A and B are shown apart, each in its own frame.
Chain A
Amino acid sequence: MIHKDVLVIGAGPSGLSAAIEAGKAGADTLLVDLNLKAGGQLFKQIHKFFGSSAHHSGTRGYEIGSLLLKQARDAGVEIWLQSTVIGIFPGGKVGIERGLDNGEKDLVTLKAKTIIIATGASENAIRFKGWTTPGVMGAGAAQTMVNVNHVRPGENIVMIGSGNVGLIVSYQLMQAGCNVVALLEAAPKVGGYSVHAAKIRRAGVPIYTSRTIIEALAGEDGSVCGCVTAAVDDHFQPVPGTEETLKCDVITLATGMKPTMDLVKLAGCALKFHGPLGGYVPIHDERLETSVKGVFVAGDSTGVEEANTALDEGKIAGISAAEELGYISHEDADAMRSEIWSRLDSLRLGPFGERRMKEKKAMMEEYSETVKVPAAFQ
C-alpha cells in the first residue's frame, strides 16, 4: 500500500497552496484532482485579482494558477490528475480511481497520515419551466467554454443573477465576442460590486432588477431560442401581466454556489448550516482541522468565498498538517498562522466579506464548544 504524509484532495487555489506549504515543510505530499489539469477554476479567471500584493493583486487568475503549479513542483508535491477519490475510510485509508497516462483508470488504496479536503464549490441552479433545455447552463460553464476552451457557447446570452459571478462572466462573455442581451436580478438591487456592474452597463447591457426568468423557450431543434421574464414582488413571486420575452440562445445561471460536501461527509466531519457561507459546511478550528482528527479543510468546501481567501486558507491547512506530523514546530506554526489570519481578516472586509468573517468566527466558536475537549480534561 502507498503511504503518504499528506493527501490533498482538489488542486484548486486552496488545495495547491496547502500542498505547497506541506511540501515545503518536508512532508511527503500527494495532490489528487479529477480534472485534466491542476488549477481548479483559476484558469478561467482572466480578470485581475483584488487585495494586497500577498494576495497577488493585479495578477490575472490564470497567471496565479501557473505560478502555483510551478511552486508545487518546486516543493516536491506529487500530483495525480484525472484521479477521483471514491472513499475515505477510518484510519486515513483512501480509495482513489487513479487516471493513468494511457487514459485507463486504476483502483488504488493508500494510507495518509493527514488529509486536506479542498473540493471547492458547485454552482446552484434555479428551477423554472424549461430549465433543463440545452442552452441553459451555469455561468461557470459558459466561462469555462470561452476562457479555457476558447469556444462560444452561443451568440446571445441572458444572464440570471447580478452577484460578482454574474457581472464578471457577463463581461468576459462580451470579451469573447458574445452579445449579452440582458442581466436579470430578482432582488431590488445589484448584488455584486458596483465597479463590475458599471463596466457592463457602460457596454450597453441592460440590468433589470426585481425581475427574474419564469420560462426557457425551446426552438424546433430542442435548444433554447428565448426566455420569458417577469417582474417579482417583495416575496420574489412573479407578478402576472409583467411578462416579457427575450430572444437568446443561451441562458446562464449565476445564482450562487454551495460547498462540495461529498468527501467531508464520507470522512465523517461534523457539519453545520451557515447560510452566508453557502449552506452546510464542515466546522473547523483556527488550524482548519475538522471534527475528525487529522482531517483538514480549506477554501470553498468550508464556505464559499473568493480565490484569494482560498489561497490563504489552503496555506493554513498545509501548515497545520505539517505541524501535526512534526515537520513544523508548534511555535513556528502558530506564528505563521497568525500572520495569515490577520491577512484574511483584512481581506474579509466590505459588506460581503465581513458577513462571512463573522460567520467563520461563529463557526470556530461552535467548534471549540462542541468538538474540542475542554482544557480541564486534556
Chain B
Amino acid sequence: MGERIENHIILDCKPAGQKIQITVDGKKIPAYDGEPILSALLAAGIKINRYTVKRHEPRGLFCGIGQCTDCAMVVDGIPNVRTCITPAHDGMVVETQDGLSKEVRHDS
C-alpha cells in the first residue's frame, strides 16, 4: 500500500495545500487541497480507478502525466476525468468508473 513521504533526503515534502476531505465510492478519505486526486487515492491504498468497457478489467495509474487515461474516474458526476492531473478540492465526490460511465448533470 502506498504512503505519503514525510522525510526525504533531498526534497522538502511539506504539503502545499490545506488538509481537506474527498469522498471516494462513498468513503471519506483525507487529501491536500490542490494535489492530484490520484495522490490522495494512492495514499489511501486505492489502486483501481476504473474498469474497462468490454472485458471489465481493472485499470490504474500507468503514465502519471495525463497521457494514457488509465486513471480516469467519475469526478463530481463527470466521467473520464484524469485523476493524475486533476487537482483535489474539499468535498469532491470521486467514483470508480465502470466502462464509459454516463455524465450525470445536476441542472438547477
Contact = CB atoms under 8 A, between A and B. Distances in A.
B37 to A, nearest CB: 11
B100 interface: no
A36 B62 contact: no
Interface centre among B8, B36, B39, B65 (most CB of A within 10 A): B65
Contacts of A152: 2-5, 42
Contact of A175 (B8, B36, B60, B63): B8
Interface string B1-24: 111110011110101000000000
B1 A138 contact: no
A151 B4 contact: yes
A177 B60 CA distance: 22
Nearest to B43: A151
Interface string A132-144: 1111111011101
B30 interface: no
A340 interface: no
Interface in A153-167: 153-155
A155 B5 CA distance: 12
Which range contains the number of B residues in contact with the other chain? 35 or more
B36 to A, nearest CB: 6
Q: Majority SS of interface residues in chain A? A: loop
A135 B71 CA distance: 12
Interface string B39-79: 10011000111000000011111111111001000000000
Given A122-B63, A136-B62, A151-B43, A36 B48 contact: no
A150 B4 contact: yes
B91 interface: no
B34 to A, nearest CB: 9
A167 B1 CA distance: 23
Interface centre among B11, B43, B48 (most CB of A within 10 A): B11
Nearest to B48: A134
Interface residues of A, number: 36
A122 B8 contact: no
Contacts of B48: 134, 221-223
B80 to A, nearest CB: 14
Contacts of A221: 47-48
B47 A223 contact: yes
A256 B96 CA distance: 31
A371 interface: no
Contacts of A132: 57, 59, 70
A137 B61 CA distance: 6
B58 A222 contact: yes
A154 B2 contact: yes
Contact of B62 (A141, A175, A222, A249): A141
Given A46-B10, A150-B11, A221-B48, A138 B62 contact: yes
Contact of B64 (A46, A125, A137, A155): A137
A176 interface: yes
A146 interface: yes
Contacts of A133: 58
A35 B85 CA distance: 7
Interface centre among A36, A150, A223 (most CB of B within 10 A): A150
A60 B9 CA distance: 13
A175 B39 CA distance: 18
Interface of A: 34-36, 46, 60, 122-123, 125, 132-138, 140-142, 144-147, 149-155, 175-177, 221-223, 249
14 contacts: A132-B57, A134-B59, A135-B60, A136-B62, A141-B64, A149-B38, A150-B15, A151-B5, A152-B3, A154-B47, A176-B5, A176-B8, A221-B47, A223-B48
**Nearest 7 pairs between A and B by C-beta?**
A134-B60, A141-B64, A144-B64, A149-B39, A222-B58, A223-B47, A150-B13
Interface of B: 1-5, 8-11, 13, 15, 35-36, 38-39, 42-43, 47-49, 57-67, 70, 84-85, 87
